[in-house]
Structure formats: structure tokens, C-alpha cells
Structure 1
Amino acid sequence: MAVHLDQGVSKLPPLTDGSHRRRLGVVALIATFGGLLFGYDTGVINGALRPMAAELGLTPFTEGVVASSLIFAAAIGAIFSGRLSDAWGRRKTIILLAVLFFAGTVFVVVAPGLDILVIGRILLGLAVGGASTVVPVFLAELAPYEIRGSLSGRNELMIVVGQLAAFVINAFIGNVFGHIEGVWRIMFAICALPAIALFFGMLRMPESPRWLVDHGRNEEALVVLKSVRSEDRAVAELGDLTALASAEKEHRSISWRAIFTNKNLLKILLIGIGVGIAQQLTGINSIMYFGQTVLIESGFDESAALIANIAPGIIAVVGALIALSMMDRFDRRKTFILGFSLTTVSHLLIGLASMLLPVGNPLRPYIILLLVVIFVGSMQTFLNVAVWVYLSEIFPLHMRGFGMGVSVFMLWIANGFLSLYFLSLVDAVGITGTFFLFAAVGALALFFVWRCVPETRGRTLEALEEDVTTGAIYLKK
């Protein structure tokens, strides 16, 4: 579990520039290839699905199975990889995830039919889920507390960069080689390259110093710290890590039964679950996974939709950069309320545009594309990064692992069910009905945030823990 050293037991020497800062940047770059793979593997299906469905004879439901199998597997990977990394080490677990990314890619690329394809997607999902939990922890435990937010946030940025890369590569391959049978296999095969880079890169990266201290390997931790800190800072920080690790051992994690019988702890758990599910029920990942289908339904032809689909990917990256810059300057509740308000209005406008502009109207596809871009930008700027930050800080220490694990698991499950049934929903009620339904759910999410979600910005983790335990946090909205 990562500890925020700004709550540490002594004042550390200031950060200094030098080769150690460059080394830290290299470590972060290599580790966030896991986020890049996360983004590429969840985004590549967007352009690969239609040629895949045509070649393998998939129905809207089996297309949903192919897309959602990765997501459901990611829920499992998120839970078990965290436990594995606690026992085995962050670095070794990320290396294992690189192997899973590569193996899953091979299965998908050579798949003769649905069964092998789904097995490959499950392997990729286990890797994606693992990357969603282990890479942020590795970065947080390796980063100096002064730049922990910006360093850890690079992983979310790399996720959307990976999705954008998938959209751009899909557009290029689809338009240049679209006449070749099995073109979707080429789209997936590209994923092997960053998986190889992650594997060989992590072989040369250090282990998390926090994990080493937790396992009594203080001398190794000091060597790692000296490689990414000045020497005096490394020595002082090792002292803080050792003291904090000892203090944490005094906090025994409570059982799930104790959580469910304590109304304040149960309430914060339900809020964490609710925030995670609400983020997914905006339908953001339906756009990131099936954006080409939505754009084709709006009136673009298949080739043009592949190219137009790059626009949401670009705005997602821009939104992530804006979110990182404002994360410590705006209240979480206000950010959530603004985000859900904008996404709900976007849903309504997409539904109205689809209803009022008939198929064949030359403006229809471009107006819907513009509204989709506004939706994705609103989501990435105000909700995606903020939700992950909120979940990482809201739970008390003694239930943080359980609370975060359950919330992220339910987030992935909601994502999985939406991925499974989205195409069937569009097939049944069209874009109009689908986005009006998203708007209704968004209104409920907005009410939930306004009524139930407490503020966390500007308070130490210890103060938040006391407020959650006593119930005072629910009075400070």
C-alpha cells in the first residue's frame, strides 16, 4: 500500500536536479508502457471489430462477448494482481503482465474462431486489470511525495495516449490495407511491440523501495533510492519509510464483516462503489470501444468513421492533460457535479441530434461527431482522472485495500456489462434511445453525487480517516 510521505515523520531534504531525476523519469516511462498497453488493448477493438465480425461471422451479441470478455477478466486481474504484487513484488508482477499482454496478443492474432479469440481477450483482460492496479502503485511508491500526483498521473495519460494510438493505427491500417482479409489481425499484432518493450525494459528497472522495506530488505531499498534521489535525500527517506512501515503494521486490516456492521464504513464503501459505477455508466468506454460503430450509425461510411474516430482520442489526451493540471486546485464534488452535468447534457444532445436529423442529412454525422467529442472531453477532463484520485484517498487505512479493491472490481463489472450489451442496445433502440438512456442514468448519477458524495480535497489522509470513522465527513459537503 502506498504511503504519502508528506504525512511522514521527519522533514526530508529538498529534491534536487541531476542524473537521479532523469533516472526516475526513465523508470516512470518504462512502467507506464503498462498504461499504454491498457489503452491500446481497450481501444483497438474500436476499429478491429467490424472486419473481425465480418470474417468470423459474429452477431451483435457475440461482438459484445468479444469486447466484454477483456473487461470481465480485467476485474479479476485487478483483484488478484494486487495480492500477487504484495507477495511477489511490483517489478516482477509487471514483468508477468508483459508476458500476459504478449501471450494474449498471439492468441487473438492467430484465432481461427470465437473460442480462441475469447481466450486471447481474457488473457489481455487479466493483464489490463493488473496494469490498472500495479503500475499506479509502483509509480506512487517510487515517486518523491512532492511530485507523486504528477508522476502517478502519467499512467492515466498513457492510457488515453494508448487509445489514441489505437485509433490512429486502426485508421491507417484500415484505409491502406482494408482490402486484405484478416486486416484486424494486423491491428492487434501491433500490441506485441510495447509488450516486448515493457518486458525487457522492466528487467532493468528497480523494485519499489517501499515494497523492499516492507519485506525487510532495507539495504536494497537504499540502493534503489540512491539511484532516483540525491544521497542525503535517499538516506532520510529510507528512515521515514522504515518508520512508516513499522507504524502501518500496528494498523490491522479489519474484516469485511466488521465493515458491513459499521454504518460509517459501509457508507463510505457504498459511496466508493457508486462513484466507480457512475463513471462507467456514462457510457464513456462504449465510445472508446465502439466509437466507429456509433459514427457509422450516425452516417459516416466505414473508412471515414475510422478517421473521424481519431477526434475523440485526441480530445481524451487533451482532457487528461487539463485534468492533471487542475486536480489539486478544484474540489472533487464540484468537479464531479460539473462533469456529470456536461456528460448528461451531451447525451441529451446526441439523442436529439439523432432524432431530429434524419439519416441522409449531410449535417447529421458531423454534428453527432462534434457532440461525441464534447462528451469525451467533458468526461476525461472532469471525471476519469478525478474518480481514480478520489477512490485512492477516500478509504481509511485499515480498509483501503478492501475498499479500493471492491470499488475497482465493481467499476470493471459495470464496464463489462455495458460492453456486452451496448451493441445489442444500439441494434434494438438506435443511437437516439441509447443516448437518452445514458442521459437518464447520468441524471441519477448527478443526484447521487450531490446528495451522497463527501469532499476530500485539502485534507490529510489521517484527517479523512478520522472523519470517515466518526461519520463527520458526511457533514462537510
Structure 2
Amino acid sequence: MGNANISEQTVQANRPEQKDPKKFLKLITIVSTFGGLLFGYDTGVINGALPFMAHADQLNLTPFTEGLVASSLVLGAAFGSIFGGRLSDTKGRRKVILYLAVLFFFSAAGCVIAPNTSVMVGFRFLLGLAVGGSSVVIPSYLAEMAPSDKRGRLVTQNELMIVTGQFLAYIFNALIGNIFGDTGHVWRYMLVVATLPAIALWIGVLILPESPRWLATKGKMGEALKVLNRIRSERIAQQELQEIQVNLSKEQKQEKMSFKDLGIPWIRRIVLLGIVLGSISQLVGINSIMYYGTQILENAGFGTKTALIANVANGLIAVIAVIVGMSLLNKVNRRPMLLTGLVGVTIALISIGISAHFLAGSPILPYIVLSMTVIYLAFFQGAIAPLVWLILAEIFPMRLRGVGMGMAVLFLWLCNFLVGLFFPILLVGIGLSATFFLFAMFAIIGVIFVGKKLPETRGLSLEEIEGIFKSKSAS
């Protein structure tokens, strides 16, 4: 009887927390997407830090080591995305996000105090592990916490936080670069800002509950229901737990596909489509602008401090474009939207290439390049970026998702790494004009490939999409 009273008192104590599940879910979303904010800041801050870091009295970077400093984070992210998901399956989503917050802090702090290029590259690689891990774990966590009718909006909010992090990095770069630009270690001031959201993420994660779906996979149904009761009404919580149990039962019975199944034509078609989409999304040069935007504007004719300020426009348009793109996802067909994005990007890239070739040395060139990079980002962040991830999530049947998505994302990260590594070398070796013509060539390949090979997936079930690939292979 005493135990029953204690239990009832515990329920009563918890009730105020359960009265407003929407508010608690909003808090969960804000806290967990701090990982996305860190992702964005850490990939964007190098944009403004590199010009100062490269000086002879600092890290004395060559074009190759400059590319290595920028791209080592992406190489780490490729590994982090592979191991982050697996670790979260065994340890739990919440616990891994907590680990990532600690890794974000110490690796960001390590970059700040790095005495030479080797140490900087090492800590940037560790930072990449945190970035890659968060790119997998946080969307998974949000998808499992969100109600089904709000899942798309909450999960894509992480993408918004990434570009917001990059935008904030560009703002801080511009402020710090213009205020402290004459001091020796201004790049260290830019990098140290990244430790603050890492601390906020770590503190915030302490109040987050574990994913109810993960708890259910471990047989902890009571704990899963307790979490669901905090983020849903009592009736919906019970119903959702039953749905989770049914889905887990189906997944256990479903036969998973492996690499040997790539010999089957329709499976090979889907995997190849995913790999090409992931690769093209990076080979069109998006991260040349996100990592080296300041140097591009310097190369076009702006001074360093002016380039830092002008680069803020790139960050602002990226945020606006993602918001617009998110609002269009459920209103416009995937294929024409992606083709529009690729055509827009192609035109912007060719325009930069032509302008850099024929207007070299002209005072108007930096302004043309800036306006074209803004147009480029509007098309890329508004259409290509959100759609590539959405299409990759849609084209793979459940039993193929592990192998297919893993290969597509691996190629995406590797192409991101190659662009980051070789862009400074291309800039010195063949110049701004030829480099952007090269990116335009990949964009044209993307237009042709999507036009010929990508089926429309909007409004179709996974089974219907699978049927399209099977029928095309048979015909």
C-alpha cells in the first residue's frame, strides 16, 4: 500500500511535465540540433580563418596543406558517419550525442591551441568525427522523437541549423577579422567561439530523454512508454508504443540485403543512382564556396577584410534558401525541382568562369563573383541540398537501406573531401575561371543524369518506388 502511494505521488509529481508535451518536444529539438549548429560553425569558420592561418608567421600553409586543414574535418566526418550510427545502436542515441558534445569541445579547443599544421590537421580530423557522428545520430534521434505528422519538419530543422551555424561563423569571422585583423592570432579567436555551443550541447543533453524506439529495441518497454508519455498525450503514447513493437517485429523478420545482392540489376540501379546523386551534389563545388568563399572573393579582387564582410551574404542566402526549399518539399515534384537547382547552379558556375576569364583585374569582377555565388547558393541550398538527402532516404527499400544509404553517403563525404583538399591547388594551378568551369562540367553531367535516370518519387510508397526500378530493369 505504501509503495502504491509512493508510485502515485511520483506520477503526480511528473504530471506538470506531461501537461505540455509540445513544449518539451520543442526543447528536445532545440537542444539536439545544437549539434547541427556546431556542424555548420565548424565547417564554416575555416572559411575566414584560413587566410590568416596561412601567413608565414602563423602556420605557413602551402596550397596543399591549406586544403588538408580544410578537408581533414570532412575525412573525419566520413568515418564519423559510419561509426556514429553503429555506436548509437549499441549505446543509445542520447549517450552518443553526449559523447559527441565532449568530442566537439576538446577537438575545437585543440584546434585553437594548435602550434603547427600537423596538430591542426589531427584535431580537425577529430572534429570531423564529431561532425560526421552528429550528421547521422541527431536526425535519427529527432525522427524517433517526433510525431509522424511533424517528422519531416523536425528532421529538416537540423539542416536549417547547419546553414545557420555556417552563417554565424561568417558573421563572427567578419567581426573578429575586422576588429582584430592586425593581431597575430586572429584565427584562434574565430575558432574558440565553437567551444561555446559545444558546452551548451553537453549541458542540454543532460536533460534529454533517450529515444523511445531505441529503448524498445533493447526490450525496455516500460522506459519507452515513460518517455512517450512526456512527449505525447497518454492515449497516443500507448498507441505509438504498440506501433513501434509491430514495426520492430516486422524488421526482425525482414531479410536484409548485402553487397552480394549488387549483382541483381534493379538493386545495382538504385545503389548507382544513390552514389551518383551523392557524388554530384559535392562535385558541383558547393564546399569550395562554404570553405573557401573568402579566398574566392580575395582572388576576384576584394581585400581580406572586405571579403570577410561580403562572405556574410553567402551565409545569409544559404539560410533563406533552405527555409524556402523546406517549404517547397511537399508542394513540388522532386525531379523538376532538382533539375531546376542543377540548371541554376550550372548557369552560376559558367558565369563565374566567364567573368573571371574576361574581366581579370577589373574592379567590377569581385562584385560579379559575389552576386553569382549568392545565386549559386540560392539554387543549391534551396533545391539540391535538401532534395538529395530526401531522395536518398526515399529510393532505398527498407531491406536495402543499410547497404545503399551507407555507400551513397560514403561517396558523398569522399567527394566533399576531394573538393576541399584540391580546391586551393586548382586555384593556384589552373586559376579561378578553369576551376569553376570544371565544377560546371559536373553540374551538366548531373542535369543529364537526373533527366535520364531519376524517377519521380513524390507521393509514392517505398514499395511503389521499388516496383519502378524492377520494371525498368525488366524492360
TM-score by length of structure 1 reads 0.94
Q: How many residues align?
A: 456
From 143, 163, 166, the counterpart of 1:163: 166
Q: Could you tell me whether the CA contact under 8 Å between 1:324 and 1:385 is conserved in 2?
A: yes
Supply the distance in 2 between the matched residues of 1:153 and 1:474 (Cα, whole angstroms).
35
1:289 aligns with 2:284: no
Task: Note closer, same or farther for the CA distance 1:249–1:210 as it changes in structure 2 (3 Å cut).
Answer: same
Cα distance between partner residues in 2 of 1:390 and 1:317: 21
Q: 1:434 corresponds to which residue? A: 435
Q: Of residues 338, 346, 349 in structure 1, which corresponds to 2:348?
A: 346
1:370-402 Cα distance to aligned partner (Å, 9 max, x none): 011000111001100111111111101111012
Would you say the 8 A contact 1:454–1:473 is kept in 2?
Answer: no
1:120-269 counterparts in 2 under 5 A? 120-258=123-261, 260-269=262-271
Question: 1:93, CA displacement in angstroms?
Answer: 0.9
**CA deviations over 1:94-140 (Å, ceiling 9, x no partner):** 11111111111121111110111111101100011111111111111
Task: Please say if 1:90 is aligned against 2:87.
Answer: no
In 2, Cα distance between equivalents of 1:132 and 1:142:
16
Instruction: List runs of 5+ in structure 1 lacking aligned partners.
Output: 1-16
Matches of 1:414 and 1:408 in 2, distance apart?
10
Q: Which residue identity does 1:298 align to in structure 2?
A: A
**CA distance in structure 1 between the partners assigned to 2:222 and 2:358 by the alignment:** 68
Moved over 2 A (4+): 461-468, 470-475
How far off its partner does 1:182 sit?
A: 1.1
Deviation per CA, 1:231-253, whole angstroms, max 9, x where unpaired?
11111111111111111111131
CA positional deviation for 1:328: 1.0
Provide the alpha-carbon RMSD of the alignment: 1.4
Q: CA deviation at 1:203?
A: 1.3
Structure 2 distance, partners of 1:395, 1:218, is 29
- Tell me what 2:395 maps to: 394
Matching residue's letter, 1:388:
W
8 Å contact kept, 2:34–2:161? yes
The 1-side partners of 2:152 and 2:51 are apart by 39
Letter in 2 for 1:288: M
Q: Distance in 1 between matches of 2:153 and 2:250?
A: 27
1:277 corresponds to which of 275, 279, 294? 279
Q: Closer, same or farther in 2 for the Cα pair 1:464/1:473, shift >3 Å?
A: farther
TM-score (norm 2): 0.94
- Taking the TM superposition and a 5 Å limit, the aligned residue runs for 1:19-98 are 19-54=20-55, 55-98=58-101
Q: Based on CA coordinates, which of the two structures has the bigger radius of gyration?
A: 2
Distance 2:78 2:196 in 1: 25
1:199 & 1:454 partners in 2: Cα distance?
A: 42
1:125-180: CA deviations, max 9, x gaps? 00111111111111111111101110101000000000000000000000001112
**2:146, 2:462 → 1: CA distance?**
18
Partners in 2 of 1:230 and 1:18 — Cα distance?
8
Instruction: Tell me if structure 2 keeps the 8 A contact 1:103–1:123.
Output: no
Aligned partner (choices 107, 110, 114) of residue 107 of structure 1: 110
CA distance in 1, matches of 2:162, 2:93: 19
- Aligned to 2:455, the other structure's residue is in SS state coil
3-state DSSP of counterpart to 1:44: helix
Give % identity: 46
Tell me how far 1:462 sits from its aligned partner: 3.3
Equivalents in 1 of 2:50, 2:66: separation in Å?
7
Shift of 1:362: 2.3
